């Protein structure tokens, strides 16, 4: 009799137990620090004759921090920001000016989960991009422009309380025009892809390795500018 009473009580409590596990997996707060290395490639394409110029950087460190607040079981808000100091290599011909730049990025993203491993995001970002063009035959300035960007993020990933996890995401965004200074741009566009793998440890700690590629194209009436980033990093997250 006691056996059946224990079995019956346990059976009735299974849905509640499963719900508690689900709530545990969907933590309310997520703090993430990201430290990595990246390469930059900057291209300028003359609209009138198709002539091209190209600049590159060496491998340089960058830093990103983010905080995600879960609104409910299927949605949340993510706030993030990061910075990187870059130094472009001198071109073969001519002298490069303003080759040292500090590039900052920050924004907000609304996240929506539609499946245990699938979620979408809508984001607004303010991101610095370098612009490069030949002002004269031997004068090559690098300019920094701040762009407002809006786009969509599609991601898949496995999440466990303890064990191995993986994920990947693809972003697409629109870049709004900038005005002022030597260069005024038109509407541009960009995309970013990344993949990651890591482990979930005790007490809500996540450690992941991530690789990413981003490309942004911002034309104006004379020159089309293309900024590419290729890099990798380690992410450490704490959720509670």
Q: What is the pTM of this model?
A: 0.83
Point out which residues pair with 105 in neighbouring strands: 82, 127
Q: Does residue 18 form part of some domain?
A: no
Is the distance from CB of 68 to CB of 77 less than 8 angstroms? yes
- Tell me, yes or no, whether 174 lies in a domain: yes
Domain extent at residue 66? 27-239
Confidence of residue 10 (pLDDT cuts 50, 70, 90): very low
> Which residues make Cβ contacts (< 8 Å) with residue 200, sequence separation at least 6?
159, 160, 161, 162, 163, 164, 165, 206
- Total domain count, the chain: 1
Check which CATH number belongs to the domain holding 221 and give it.
2.40.128.100
Q: Tell me if 22 is assigned to some domain.
A: no
Mean pLDDT of 23-40: 80
Whether residue 148 lies inside any domain: the answer is: yes
Residue 16: inside a domain: no
| Residue 2 covered by a domain | no
Query: Quick check: 129 pLDDT over 90?
Result: yes
**149 alpha carbon, distance to own chain's centre:** 12
Tell me, yes or no, whether 20 lies in a domain: no
pLDDT above 80: residue 14: no
In a domain, 120, yes or no: yes
- Residue range 152-206, pLDDT digits in tens: 999 998 766 667 889 999 999 999 998 866 788 899 999 999 999 999 877 778 8
Query: Is the confidence at residue 87, as pLDDT, over 80?
Result: yes
């Amino acid at each position: 009799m006691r056996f059946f009473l224990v079995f019956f009580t346990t059976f009735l409590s299974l849905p509640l137990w499963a719900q508690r596990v689900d709530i545990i997996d969907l933590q309310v707060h997520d703090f993430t620090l990201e430290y990595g290395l990246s390469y930059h490639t900057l291209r300028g394409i003359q609209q009138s004759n198709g002539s091209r110029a190209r600049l590159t950087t060496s491998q340089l460190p960058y830093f990103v921090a983010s905080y995600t607040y879960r609104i409910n079981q299927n949605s949340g808000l993510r706030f993030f920001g990061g910075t990187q100091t870059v130094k472009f290599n001198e071109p073969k011909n001519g002298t490069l000016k303003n080759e040292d730049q500090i590039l900052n990025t920050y924004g907000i993203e609304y996240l929506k989960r539609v499946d245990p491993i699938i979620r979408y995001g809508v984001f607004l970002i303010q991101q610095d991009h370098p612009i490069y063009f030949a002002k004269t035959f031997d004068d090559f300035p690098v300019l920094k422009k701040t762009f407002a960007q809006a786009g969509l993020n599609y991601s898949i990933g496995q999440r466990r309380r303890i064990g191995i996890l993986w994920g990947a995401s693809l972003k697409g965004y629109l870049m709004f025009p900038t005005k002022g200074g030597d260069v005024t741009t038109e509407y541009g566009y960009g995309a970013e892809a990344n993949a990651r793998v890591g482990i979930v440890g005790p007490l809500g700690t996540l450690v992941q390795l991530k690789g990413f590629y981003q490309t942004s194209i911002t034309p104006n009436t004379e020159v089309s500018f293309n900024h590419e980033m290729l890099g990798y990093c380690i992410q450490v997250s704490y959720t509670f």
